[in-house]
Amino acid sequence: MPSKSRLTFIFFAALFCACIMLFEDIGEAMGVAWIDEWDEIHVWEVLIMLSLFGAIIMLGLEILKMRRYQDTLEDKVARASGAFEELLNAYFDKWAFSTAEREITRLLIKGCSTAEMAEIRNAKEGTIKAQTSSIYKKSGYAGKAQLLSAFLEDLTDGGSLANSSR
């Protein structure tokens, strides 16, 4: 995970460089002698370059950390998605759902209404209602809330407390 303190440091290092450049330019415009002397030996440029190089190196390291963190998150999401897919298919097989019932169950999980499911599947609402009724009958759950609860409990290692024999 990216370091907030490093990113804050990088921001202030860049701000420091901008302030030094501004300070130098104002000092030169006002004719301040010691600023001109330092300018001749390139003190200002060295300070700015060292600060910028330090900030760039730290920023590069933070970008690498962010990429690794993103890869880790993407891997976790892919594994969770695969596990959820396996869980759904195991339930579908156990309950002997037809292809249509499997598709309707997925739409139920997504929160689609009967009308939305009918539109998506290019079917009549009565057909969808019959299929959802069949889903509840085969699964042994009384409705959408209980069905979703069973999936959530299994996903969170809680087991199906409502109906552990199913």
Residues 6+ apart with CB under 8 A from 149: 160, 162
In a domain, 29, yes or no: yes
pLDDT at residue 155 is higher than 80: no
The domain of 143 spans: 95-155
Total domains in the chain come to 2
Confidence band, pLDDT 50/70/90 cuts, at residue 39:
low
The mean pLDDT of the chain is 85
| Closest listed residue to residue 144, CA positions, set 166, 111, 115 | 111
CATH value at residue 144: 1.10.10.10
Residue 165, pLDDT above cutoff 60: no
Q: Among residues 38, 73, 108, which one ends one of the domains?
A: 73
pLDDT tens digits, 120-151? 999 999 999 999 999 999 999 998 999 888 88
Judge whether 32 lies within some domain: yes
24-33, 36-45, 46-55: least confidently modelled range: 36-45
**Residue 9 — pLDDT band, cuts 50, 70, 90?**
confident
Mean pLDDT of 3-16: 85
128 contacts 121 by C-beta, under 8 angstroms:
yes
The gap from C-alpha 112 to its chain's centroid, in whole angstroms, comes to 23
Q: Quick check: 163 pLDDT over 80? A: no
Residue 1's CB is within 10 A of a number of other CB atoms, namely 9
163 assigned to some structural domain: no
pLDDT of residue 121: 95
Q: Note if the pTM is more than 0.85.
A: no
Q: What is the pLDDT of residues 80-103, one digit of tens each?
A: 889 888 889 999 999 999 999 999
User: Cα–Cα distances in Å, from 6 out to 2, 62, 80?
Assistant: 8, 8, 31
